[in-house]
Amino acid sequence: MSLNIQAISSFLTERKERLKPEEANKLNLKRIGKIDFSGQIHLVENKPTKTNMIIVKKRDLVISGINVAKGALAVYEDDEDVIATIHYSAYSFNKEKIDINFLKWFLKSPAFIDALEAQTGGGIKTEIKAKKFLSLKIYVPTLAEQKNIELHLNKIEEKYNQLSEELKTQSDLILKLKSSILSDAVSGKLVPQDPNNESAEVLLQKIKAEKEKRIKEGKIKKQKPLPPISEDEVPYELPDGWVWCRLRDVCKHITDGEHQTPPRISFGKKLLSAKNVRDGFLDYDNCDYISEEHYEKARNRCLPEIGDLLIVSVGGTIGRASLVTKNSDFALVRSVALIKPLLISSEYLRVVLNSKLLQDMINLTKRGGAQPCLYLTSINQFLFPLASLEEQKRIVKKVEKLMARCDALEIEVKKSKIETEKLMQRVLKEAFK
């Protein structure tokens, strides 16, 4: 392959025109919202701007100064001009010197990063400005050789995309399998029923008696009766020995955290919010801190204990649930509800909360748009499929075993994704070696 070294500026020319915000807004042009990593330009209609903008014309190469090496670059093909923020840059190109698709491949290759690090000493730290980009000197083969490299990489990419799609399908199937396991668990299909087990109806009466006892002792407050469960509410028939009830029927208390968010301090008592309720665990390392005074006030309202369940009740992760397993020395804010089970398995309660049954109820009862909210009244009234305590334990054991297998499959799929990406990077590195 015959190669020669050229500055990128020898075949690309920056479109330097800049528009003040008031000028850009008067033009009423569409605006580049983003360029995704597949090289797709996403436009937004007449979005006002408060910053300077650039003009992008048909057949311009547009690159994201931050994510160009990840694939955020594209050739704009529409007839009408568009605008973009100055975090993008636009270039016309000399097609007598460069095949633009060859260049796009190069900019996504390790060779581009190597050139940045070798010639600028910094690589991509914040964003690549046009001055730095255009001054780079790279090896440029003849147009015929550029086309051959492009065709070769296109074939490799087709295989890469097929494999990536297959791995995505496997990931989706594992998620569906996990959901199916939980659905079977809460409908009595995961483990066989044992007629010798005490029925759920008897367990429910024991819970009711225990609650009345605690009310008399002043340990919990008496609450208003819950509405009876109508036939229309019941989503499916439970097996013999099971019973439908309300979530509050099997809990001693359901509440949420402090409504007035206490001021944060650099170090003190732990304050957990929705961000700390992760999938399957509580993240104690990235919590906020509050003073002893605010901590005691928050704990008077909401006292977490080991065995309690936390469920996100405000925000984008609404419905996510985690079990308090080791450390309950923290306070909560309004975005997290606390569920205290009574005489039932906490692990079984977590299975139910994570199942499609409860997640569907959450989606039906949540309120609000961008910041959805789940009220305590709704949480209290959620339908709960109660099994005998012995069967709850068998269900939990079976779920844990099956989920462990699913997790192992997920790890293998993730490894395959990483290896596939590494292989693609090796191919790109060899192509532009």
Nearest 5°: phi and psi at 92? -85, 160
Q: What is the pLDDT of residues 153-175, one digit of tens each?
A: 999 999 999 999 999 999 999 99
User: Is residue 335 within 8 Å of residue 273, measured between CB atoms?
Assistant: yes
Q: What pLDDT band is residue 269 in, cutting at 50, 70 and 90?
A: very high
User: Is residue 40 within 8 Å of residue 67, measured between CB atoms?
Assistant: no
In the predicted structure, residue 76 carries a pLDDT above the cut 60: yes
Written as six digits, the tokens of 396 are 């939990």
How confident is the model at residue 1, as a pLDDT? 46
Chain-centroid distance of CA 244 in Å reads: 32
User: Is residue 295 within 8 Å of residue 255, measured between CB atoms?
Assistant: no
How confident is the model at residue 38, as a pLDDT? 87
How confident is the model at residue 118, as a pLDDT? 85
Mean local confidence (pLDDT), 200-229: 95
Chain-centroid distance of CA 325 in Å reads: 24
Half-sphere exposure of 245 (CA within 13 A, CB side): 21
In the predicted structure, residue 323 carries a pLDDT above the cut 90: yes
How confident is the model at residue 301, as a pLDDT? 85
Please report, as a single letter, which amino acid is at residue 205: Q
> How do 53-56 and 12-14 pair as beta strands?
unpaired
How confident is the model at residue 169, as a pLDDT? 97
- What percentage of the chain exceeds 70 in pLDDT? 98
Q: Which of 124-128, 156-160, 414-418 shows the lowest per-residue confidence on average (mean pLDDT)?
A: 124-128
Chain-centroid distance of CA 64 in Å reads: 23
How confident is the model at residue 120, as a pLDDT? 73
Q: What is the pLDDT of residues 328-384, one digit of tens each?
A: 999 999 999 999 999 999 999 999 999 999 999 999 999 987 789 999 999 999 999
Q: What pLDDT band is residue 213 in, cutting at 50, 70 and 90?
A: very high
How confident is the model at residue 179, as a pLDDT? 97
Q: Which of 355-359, 422-426, 429-433 shows the lowest per-residue confidence on average (mean pLDDT)?
A: 429-433
What is the maximum alpha-carbon separation in the chain? Answer: 91
Q: What pLDDT band is residue 126 in, cutting at 50, 70 and 90?
A: low
Half-sphere exposure of 210 (CA within 13 A, CB side): 15
Mean local confidence (pLDDT), 178-202: 97
